[in-house]
A and B are shown apart, each in its own frame.
Chain A
Amino acid sequence: MLGTGILKGLKETARNVIGSFRDKERLPTVMYPEEKVKTKENFRTFPFLVFDGNDAMLGLRCVSCRICEKECPPQCIFIIQERDENNKAVKHPRVFDIDFSVCMQCGICAEVCPFDAIKMDNIYELAGDDRFTGLLVDKHRLAKSNHYYHQIKPTEADEVDSRLAEDRRKAEEAAKAKAAAAAAKAAPPSSTAT
């Protein structure tokens, strides 16, 4: 009949209004910044450098191999290797800058790093008022502890840690076997001498 459609529509909108006070489903708005949407674990934004232990610079996993700098598609990573007094290369970056305004958050740097030194963070509240240098972050701002990595990405961090522990164990065993072989080689050379 004429008009029933309108009444059905009015009933539906009334249900919306009353329901929006009662259940969350009818009012899915998140009151940012008082409430924030909890991001999933594999949500990624910008990269950060992982360090083990308590000292950021001493525990940095990065050895300045510069693979991430070469692989980065928009070339937003700038690395200068540390050199000691005799100008010999040290496995540490003197300068490690990422230009966040260029970074496209693809994650390729984290994929290719052989040392699990650079991983993707999930911070998004980076707005600032310094237009030119505010988004150019150096290694001190980039360095975050492994503990933090466990907090934001537990499964990934566990997997990385177990892999690194495994590698370390294998390296130790290989070193032990090599030392034993070297010792065995060094010990009885006379028994096989003819």
Chain B
Amino acid sequence: MNLVERIDQAPLLLQRWAVGFFPAFLQPWVAMLISAAAIIGVFASLFALSTLAERKGLGRIQNRPGPNRVGPFGMLQPLADGIKMLIKEDIVPLRADKVLHFLAPIALIVPSLLVYSVLPIGRNLVAMQCQLGVLLFFAIGASTELSIFMAGWGSHNKYSILGSIRAIAQMISYELPMVLAAITVILVTSSLDTVKIVEAQAGGFWAWHVCTPWGAIALLTFFICALAESNRAPFDLPEAESELIAGHLTEYSGFKYALFFMAEYLGMMAISGMAITLFLGGWQAPLPMLDFIPSWLWFFGKLAGFVVLFIWIRGTLPRLRADQLMNLAWKFLLPIALLNIGLAGLWVKSSAWIAWPVSILLLVPAVIGLGRLLRGSRPRGGKRIYQYAD
């Protein structure tokens, strides 16, 4: 194994070396523990970095520097935030359901961390190679809604319950186009295994699924649904400060709030990871000659690109109203996703020469027509008439 391959497989080699210290009957367990610890360690520190990037990025978008007091360029700000969250008083309302109130953040963090086990971070670097990786991802991701309900109900607060109803409605509405967009990839690669999906996109960026007509639309749909699933702007109705105070997070303070916050960012990065795996070739390099760069570096580079995109969109777009949100999911994204599945089938059954023109011919009127339909759901009334008091 030369040096390039060693660096590429470094996490795996480290794991094997550490596991070698233990007796044979303990080795599978130790290997699993090391993978779990590595995932938690890496992605929790990525969470800290992304909070810093978010604050600095949003600051620059808003013509201000962002935090720059705590360390050089504010780099120790996540540490200061963490210490603050830890030493804050943990207030539980008097008549709140203590068991539910306590379990909700835990029930949210566990699935958020569990879904990382099927993401291939690099060549041979997946914590659990499962034949049904994509299904596992979506099945476990669906369990997060339960914890939002627990958070809202357990707080014994009208606004929390209303906020959690809205949040759950948003999450289940956007789960559908997301799964349908993933289905197009599964249709074309005829496998649910994330490792095989990444290997099916080998060769260069033209082989990635995003460079196909159905892939581009599916990635766009998946990305919009990812924004909605992780309650990120412009879909952050459940947790925005001016909406129902903080929705289902109203009665949480201190470390539990930090856990919710962390679960949101972890979910954001997990869904980005899945989007990279499905559409952007996972750990593959865009050009075969760039293969000397380690595969996990490509994965994290693409992940960083996604995080930057999330932050950029947050700084740009205003928040959507609840009915605009639901209209977008059911009246726009769902028909486009269904049409997309048809186009993916067309791609598989015929050649690229036929598929591209037919896809564009079908997609463009669909997008424009559905967009017009969406505009129609704006509240009616014609032009506004202003009457000034004289």
A binding-site residues for B, Cβ under 8 Å: 1-2, 6, 9-10, 12-14, 16-17, 20-21, 26-29, 31
CA distance A17 to B315 in the complex (A): 11
Ordered by A's residue number, 18 sampled pairs between the chains whose C-beta atoms are within 8 Å are A1-B371, A2-B374, A9-B316, A9-B317, A10-B313, A10-B316, A12-B316, A13-B61, A16-B61, A16-B62, A17-B61, A20-B63, A20-B65, A27-B63, A27-B65, A28-B63, A29-B64, A31-B68
CA distance A21 to B60 in the complex (A): 9
CA distance A1 to B370 in the complex (A): 11
Tell me how far the C-beta of B61 lies from the nearest C-beta in chain A, rounded to whole angstroms.
Answer: 5
Segment 129-180 of B: residues with Cβ below 8 Å from A: none
6 closest A-B pairs by CB: A2-B371, A17-B60, A9-B316, A13-B316, A13-B61, A20-B60
CA distance A21 to B63 in the complex (A): 10
Q: Which residues of B lie under 8 Å from residue A31 when comparing CB positions?
A: 65, 68
Tell me how far the C-beta of A110 lies from the nearest C-beta in chain B, rounded to whole angstroms.
Answer: 37
Knowing A26-B63, A28-B63, A29-B65, say if A13 contacts B312 (CB, 8 Å). Answer: yes
Q: Which residues of B lie under 8 Å from residue A13 when comparing CB positions?
A: 61, 312, 315-316
CA distance A26 to B63 in the complex (A): 5
Q: Is the interface of B mostly helix, strand, loop or mixed?
A: helix
CA distance A2 to B65 in the complex (A): 33
B317 touches A2 (CB 8 A): no
CA distance A10 to B234 in the complex (A): 13
Closest-by-CB residue of B relative to A5 is B317
Q: Interface size for chain B: under 10, 10 to 19, 20 to 34, or 35 or more residues? A: 10 to 19
Closest-by-CB residue of A relative to B61 is A13
Segment 280-332 of B: residues with Cβ below 8 Å from A: 312-313, 315-317
CA distance A92 to B60 in the complex (A): 57
Q: Which residues of B lie under 8 Å from residue A20 when comparing CB positions?
A: 60, 63, 65
- For residue B57, CB closer than 8 A to chain A, the reply is yes
Q: Which residues of A lie under 8 Å from residue B371 when comparing CB positions?
A: 1-2
Partner of A16, one of B63, B317, B368, B374: B63
Q: Which residues of B lie under 8 Å from residue A12 when comparing CB positions?
A: 316
Closest-by-CB residue of B relative to A28 is B63
CA distance A63 to B255 in the complex (A): 64
Closest-by-CB residue of A relative to B56 is A17
- For residue B367, CB closer than 8 A to chain A, the reply is yes
A1 touches B61 (CB 8 A): no
CA distance A6 to B63 in the complex (A): 20
CA distance A34 to B81 in the complex (A): 24
Tell me how far the C-beta of A6 lies from the nearest C-beta in chain B, rounded to whole angstroms.
Answer: 7
Q: Which residues of A lie under 8 Å from residue B65 when comparing CB positions?
A: 20, 27, 29, 31
Knowing A20-B63, A26-B63, say if A6 contacts B317 (CB, 8 Å). Answer: yes
Q: Which residues of A lie under 8 Å from residue B68 when comparing CB positions?
A: 31
Residue picked from A2, A6, A16, most chain B C-beta under 10 Å: A2
CA distance A29 to B60 in the complex (A): 11
Knowing A2-B367, A6-B316, say if A16 contacts B60 (CB, 8 Å). Answer: yes
Partner of A17, one of B57, B313, B317: B57
Tell me how far the C-beta of B224 lies from the nearest C-beta in chain A, rounded to whole angstroms.
Answer: 11
Q: Which residues of B lie under 8 Å from residue A10 when comparing CB positions?
A: 312-313, 316
CA distance A133 to B64 in the complex (A): 38
* Given A16-B62, A16-B63, A31-B65, 11 extra CB contacts under 8 A: A2-B367, A2-B368, A10-B312, A10-B316, A13-B312, A14-B312, A20-B65, A21-B60, A26-B63, A27-B60, A27-B65
Q: Which residues of A lie under 8 Å from residue B316 when comparing CB positions?
A: 6, 9-10, 12-13
Q: Which residues of A lie under 8 Å from residue B60 when comparing CB positions?
A: 16-17, 20-21, 27
Closest-by-CB residue of B relative to A20 is B60
Q: Which residues of B lie under 8 Å from residue A2 when comparing CB positions?
A: 367-368, 371, 374
Tell me how far the C-beta of A115 lies from the nearest C-beta in chain B, rounded to whole angstroms.
Answer: 47
Closest-by-CB residue of A relative to B315 is A13
Tell me how far the C-beta of B305 lies from the nearest C-beta in chain A, rounded to whole angstroms.
Answer: 14
Segment 48-104 of B: residues with Cβ below 8 Å from A: 57, 60-65, 68
Tell me how far the C-beta of B95 lies from the nearest C-beta in chain A, rounded to whole angstroms.
Answer: 40
CA distance A16 to B64 in the complex (A): 10
Tell me how far the C-beta of A13 lies from the nearest C-beta in chain B, rounded to whole angstroms.
Answer: 5
Q: Which residues of A lie under 8 Å from residue B368 when comparing CB positions?
A: 1-2
CA distance A28 to B62 in the complex (A): 11
CA distance A26 to B313 in the complex (A): 19
Q: Which residues of A lie under 8 Å from residue B57 when comparing CB positions?
A: 17
